[in-house]
Amino acid sequence: MPPPCPRTGGRAQRLALAALTLVALLGLVFTVQTPPAAAALAVRIVATPNFGGNYDPDQWVPITVALANDGPGVSGEVVAEVPGADPPLRFTQRIELPTRSQKVLTLYAQFPPRAGTASIRFEAGKESVPAAPVTLRELRSGQGLVGVIVDDAALGAELTRAIVGAYGSATFETVTVAPDEIPGNTFGLGSFSALVVGDASTGRWSAEQRAAVAGWVARGGQLVAAGGPNWRKTGEGLGELPPLRPTDSRTVAGLPGLAALGAGNGPSGQAVVATGDLLAGATRLADQDGASLVATRGWGRGTVTSLAFDPGTSALSGWGGANAFWRKLALDTPRPAALQEPFSGGYNSYSGSAQVANVLRDIPGLALPPTWLLGLVLLLFIIAIGPANYLVLRAFDRRELAWVTIPVLTLLFAGAIYVVGAATKGRSVVLNSVSVVRVSPGARSAEVAAFYGIFTPTRGVRDIALSGEALVLPFSPNGLGDNKDLGGDVRFEQGAGSAARGASFAQWTQRTIAAQGVVDPAAVILDVELRREGQKVVGTVTNRSQSAVEDALLVYDGAYQSIGSLAPGASVAVDWRPSATQTGSYNSYGRGLGTAHYYSNSTGQYPGNQPGQMGVTGHRASTLDALSGTVLDFRGPGYSSGGPYSPPTFTPSATATPSATSTPRPGTRTPGTPTATRRTPTPTRTPATPTAANKPVQVLFWRSDPPLDLKVSAGERYATTLVIQETFPGATTQGVPSPVARSVAPVEGGR
């Protein structure tokens, strides 16, 4: 066999070299274009529900989440997923975790009854790190929650046993709370009926935590602040809440002065009592040798009680009158209805959520065209495909083409109607909102419940962001928390970027959400100066803001009085004797304040059932009806009249009070709440029933702008904003400490 040709061998070598080069190039390409596999998240997460996981359904539950990042820096979000929700209901908060960092945040979520557990996780892109499931404990029906805030858990256990011993476990669930557990959002305290601050380092509280406690009291919470040897440490974070402003302390041999609030003699043995001044408006419940042992004062709708001693001492725990003493503090006093209460139940046609949802759907620009116009279009269509089509085809002698012209004319008419409708109704986003602002007496707080309806002409996924910080959640006619219309990917983000992100919209549909937040009272209030004269309420209401308010009402103990609209700077005199209010002929629409005021005696126009037909009057009437009997102190009579109405009997003031109380003007110090009109603690375990003597007058009026707006580019915006300003007529001023009684002379050596 002849030897191989050298040329052939060279060609084979060149082909092999080319193949190797191609493989190398392909490897280089894939090396450049294929990203390296992402490293697994090196994040550790621990989630703990505050307050032992005890919660009241429909209240916000704070969950403390601690994160540590042992790897590269990462951005993500902490997610709390509500169990049993379909589609999933998720509350989130964004967080940045630099390399080797540790951070702690508080996430808020609402849980339904019998939630049991909740899942918390950290997500970054498609990766997630779950925390161990958190355990939740729902309060029993009719059971309140009392938190004992102390540094020492053993001391907290002693106090919780004393409270349960006085009221019983059916009345209260008690929990020991570390000072750091207090959340920075006031709605995170909504499950509590009362808080007892014992030997606790409240000075560690941030400004947000202090404001949260003050706002919770202003909305009706009961706060008890202890004194004793560590009065400085206990009171440092409470500011001007306690009615006793200690300046020193002294040691006493027993507390016989507590016999007035207990059974038998007072506790024996040495005790340390804080001494100082009582603030204006405070009432002594027990004193000893001229020193106030127990004093109370109203703060908004709530009450703050100062104890000059430490209730956790062995002297008090071993006292036979301890149960009677705790009951006299009346921690079981019913709280006012929460602002979200009318919107938390299931659906019925007259529920608060259904009525507000009707207002949100009532968009004037989306009203159906008038019947005559629909009839005219239908008549033209019939003429076009009938006689006109026939005459034209006959003129051209092409009647056989009718099977073509009739479908074509039908499509042309349908297309024309669609184009005209889209051009006039469906090119822009429409935002409709209903906001309710409740200002507590003395303008101590202003909480907002806001509801938004967003109509879009196109389908897609949208982020709905708020202009301010608030807690966002889904809303529908079924109530708060119903997430069925927003899609399975929506997330309710908290923090500076409060929003509903990833909400799903179909074409020409409306989606609804809700938000809870707080605003500056000075931006919304009127100057209200009211006092009591016998069975009458007299005084003035002045609008010192730069914008007009409309259709103002006074509401008190089931009665109401219109005082009209107020232009900027305008004032109206009040001389009102509350009397029975009867609803008129529109009882089938509902028997709330809106019906009584706007539709009694056949005045006004009954709201229609189609979008755009309710009008401003219908929007306001539905909003008032939604709040009647809960947030508003008005419940109209039923179809059958009850017994004769008795005007409220005003309880005489126990201490001298000014003739009127001014609500604060912007930039001025806020006034306080009365003590004479507040509930007097009783020794019974049965919760006291609110009476006219301890109810505030509610001043209702309408403003033009929503307090919490959405960052939505909308072609049309409609807003219904109700302000409920509460005031106790003749309340004493409560602000900068103004001593009305000196307890005792300072004693050297006190802490």
* CATH assignment of the domain containing 101: 2.60.40.10
Are 529 and 514 found together in one domain? no
- Whether 344 is covered by a domain: the verdict is no
Question: What is the predicted pLDDT for the residue at 238?
Answer: 96
Are 90 and 205 found together in one domain? no
The predicted model gives 368-384 an average pLDDT of 77
Question: What is the predicted pLDDT for the residue at 582?
Answer: 47
Question: What is the predicted pLDDT for the residue at 18?
Answer: 56
Distance between CA atoms of 26 and 49, rounded to whole angstroms?
Answer: 54
- Highest averaged pLDDT of the listed ranges 81-85, 510-514, 579-583, 647-651: 510-514
pLDDT in tens, 156-166: 999 999 999 99
Check residues 695 and 67 and name the one with the higher pLDDT: 67
Residue with tokens 């309408």: 702
Distance between CA atoms of 181 and 50, rounded to whole angstroms?
Answer: 6
pLDDT in tens, 444-467: 999 999 999 999 988 899 999 998
Are 107 and 169 found together in one domain? no
Strands 194-197 and 222-225: parallel
Please name the helix (run of DSSP H) or strand (run of DSSP E) that holds residue 446, with its range, or none: strand 446-456
Residue 284 has pLDDT above 60, yes or no: yes
- Whether 260 is covered by a domain: the verdict is yes
Are 66 and 161 found together in one domain? no
Are 403 and 469 found together in one domain? no
- Whether 685 is covered by a domain: the verdict is no
Say which DSSP state 387 is in: I
Are 68 and 201 found together in one domain? no
Show the domain range for 373.
Answer: 368-425
Read off the CATH number of the domain in which 308 is found. Answer: 3.40.50.880
- Asked if residue 334 has a cis previous peptide bond (ω within 30° of 0), the answer is no
- Give the model's confidence band at 5: pLDDT under 50 very low, under 70 low, under 90 confident, else very high: very low
Residue 492 has pLDDT above 50, yes or no: yes
Residue 328 has pLDDT above 70, yes or no: yes
Question: What is the predicted pLDDT for the residue at 219?
Answer: 95
Displacement of CA 391 from its chain's centroid (Å): 67
CB within 8 Å of 50: residues ≥ 6 apart: 61, 62, 63, 64, 106, 177, 181, 183, 188
The predicted model gives 640-648 an average pLDDT of 36
The predicted model gives 487-514 an average pLDDT of 93
The burial class, CB within 10 Å (0-12 / 13-18 / 19+), for 124 is: middle
- Whether 66 is covered by a domain: the verdict is yes
Residue 36 has pLDDT above 90, yes or no: no
**Domain termination site, one of 103, 137, 171:** 137
The predicted model gives 618-638 an average pLDDT of 86
pLDDT in tens, 39-82: 588 999 999 999 999 999 989 999 999 999 999 999 999 999 99
Mean pLDDT over all residues of the chain? 82
Quick check: 110 and 143 in contact, CB under 8 A? no
Q: What is the DSSP string of 183-248?
A: -SSGGGGTT-SEEEE-S--GGG--HHHHHHHHHHHHTT-EEEE--GGGHHHHHTTTTT-SSEEEEE
- Give the model's confidence band at 691: pLDDT under 50 very low, under 70 low, under 90 confident, else very high: low
The predicted model gives 506-526 an average pLDDT of 93
Are 591 and 721 found together in one domain? yes
- Give the model's confidence band at 580: pLDDT under 50 very low, under 70 low, under 90 confident, else very high: low
The predicted model gives 386-405 an average pLDDT of 83
- Give the model's confidence band at 408: pLDDT under 50 very low, under 70 low, under 90 confident, else very high: confident
Are 372 and 494 found together in one domain? no
Into how many domains does the chain fold?
5
Give the CB-side neighbour count of residue 681, counting CA atoms within 13 A.
26
Question: What is the predicted pLDDT for the residue at 468?
Answer: 87
Question: What is the predicted pLDDT for the residue at 414?
Answer: 84
The predicted model gives 133-140 an average pLDDT of 94
- Give the model's confidence band at 256: pLDDT under 50 very low, under 70 low, under 90 confident, else very high: very high
pLDDT in tens, 409-439: 888 888 877 776 666 556 688 999 999 999 9
Are 322 and 254 found together in one domain? yes
Handedness of CA 355, 360, 363, 369 (dihedral sign): negative
Residue 505 has pLDDT above 60, yes or no: yes
Which of these ranges, 286-295, 367-376, 562-571, has the smallest mean pLDDT? 367-376
**Domain termination site, one of 397, 425, 453:** 425
- Give the model's confidence band at 588: pLDDT under 50 very low, under 70 low, under 90 confident, else very high: very low
Question: What is the predicted pLDDT for the residue at 667?
Answer: 32
Question: What is the predicted pLDDT for the residue at 365?
Answer: 63
- Whether 362 is covered by a domain: the verdict is no
Distance between CA atoms of 109 and 471, rounded to whole angstroms?
Answer: 9
Are 442 and 503 found together in one domain? yes
Distance between CA atoms of 41 and 129, rounded to whole angstroms?
Answer: 7
Are 323 and 408 found together in one domain? no
- Whether 34 is covered by a domain: the verdict is no
Which of these ranges, 219-233, 236-250, 654-668, 730-744, has the smallest mean pLDDT? 654-668
Question: What is the predicted pLDDT for the residue at 639?
Answer: 32
- Whether 9 is covered by a domain: the verdict is no
- Whether 402 is covered by a domain: the verdict is yes
Question: What is the predicted pLDDT for the residue at 19?
Answer: 53
Question: What is the predicted pLDDT for the residue at 11?
Answer: 57
Residue 529 has pLDDT above 90, yes or no: yes
Residue 749 has pLDDT above 60, yes or no: no
Residue 388 has pLDDT above 90, yes or no: no
Residue 555 has pLDDT above 80, yes or no: yes
**Domain termination site, one of 109, 137, 165:** 137
Quick check: 129 and 97 in contact, CB under 8 A? no
3-class DSSP assignment, residue 357: helix
Quick check: 554 and 574 in contact, CB under 8 A? yes
Distance between CA atoms of 338 and 219, rounded to whole angstroms?
Answer: 8
Which of these ranges, 306-315, 491-500, 534-543, 586-595, has the smallest mean pLDDT? 586-595
Are 253 and 383 found together in one domain? no
